[in-house]
Every structure is written in C-alpha cells, then in structure tokens.
C-alpha cells in the first residue's frame, strides 16, 4: 500500500499537481 501512495505522490509532482489536494479530492469523491 505504501508503495502505491508513494507512486501516486511522485506522479502528481511530475505533473504539477499538489498530491495532498489530489488525494483529498479523491477521498471526498469516494466518500460521497
């Protein structure tokens, strides 16, 4: 699980996306 989150964080950074904001948005979308 940790390696998946790390990979996601790196992908976000490489594409100029804030990883924390992205993860927050995804979790909010899944939770609703």
pLDDT of 7 reads 96
* Calpha distance 3→17 (Å, rounded): 19
Contact between residue 12 and residue 26 where contact means Cβ atoms under 8 Å apart: no
Q: What is the pLDDT of residues 1-32, one digit of tens each?
A: 899 999 999 999 999 999 999 999 999 999 87
Q: Please give the backbone phi and psi of residue 27, each rounded to the nearest 5 degrees, phi first.
A: -65, -35
Instruction: Evaluate if pTM is beyond 0.75.
Output: no
């Amino acid at each position: 699980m940790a390696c998946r989150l790390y990979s996601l964080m790196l992908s976000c950074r490489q594409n100029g996306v804030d990883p924390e904001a992205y993860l927050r948005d995804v979790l909010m979308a899944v939770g609703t």
